[in-house]
Amino acid sequence: MPKKIATENINAKLGIVMRSGKALLGLTQTLKAIRKGMVKMVIVSSNCPNLRKSMLEYYCMLSKTQIYHYTGTNIDLGAACGRYHRVSCVSIIEAGDSDILTAVSS
């Protein structure tokens, strides 16, 4: 039961980020933003391919960026972002009114 509450909490915070902050969707845009040093947090779906997931983890480790492994699939992550397509990873540049950066790290 607490796992579902935590997922709903992350979904709500991610929706606030999409409305009031800045976020990029997709692997290519995320990797470009990590290389530029713009990203504060990366969210990866559970069914993202292992090669892509390890590449994102490596880039995040090099740039000292937070990474969060989302418990839902890429369809769930897309729905949490307010989009009607699949999203394997989301990079948060500015959190806006959301406190997702502090809530996920603790």
For residues 51-58, average pLDDT: 95
- In terms of Cβ atoms closer than 10 Å to its own Cβ (0-12, 13-18, 19+), residue 101 is middle
CA distance 39 to 94: 8
Q: Phi, psi at residue 81, to the nearest 5°?
A: -80, -5
Note the pLDDT of residue 6.
Answer: 67
Q: Nearest-5° angle of CA 51, CA 56, CA 57?
A: 95
Q: What is the 3-state secondary structure (H, E, C) of 6-38?
A: HHHHHHHHHHHHHHHCEEEECHHHHHHHHHHCC
pLDDT > 60? residue 37? yes
User: Which pTM value belongs to this model?
Assistant: 0.90
Q: Phi, psi at residue 79, to the nearest 5°?
A: -65, -35
Q: Which of 81, 82, 99, 98 is nearest to 90 (CA)?
A: 81
Tens of pLDDT, residue by residue over 63-98, are: 999 999 999 999 999 999 998 899 999 999 998 888
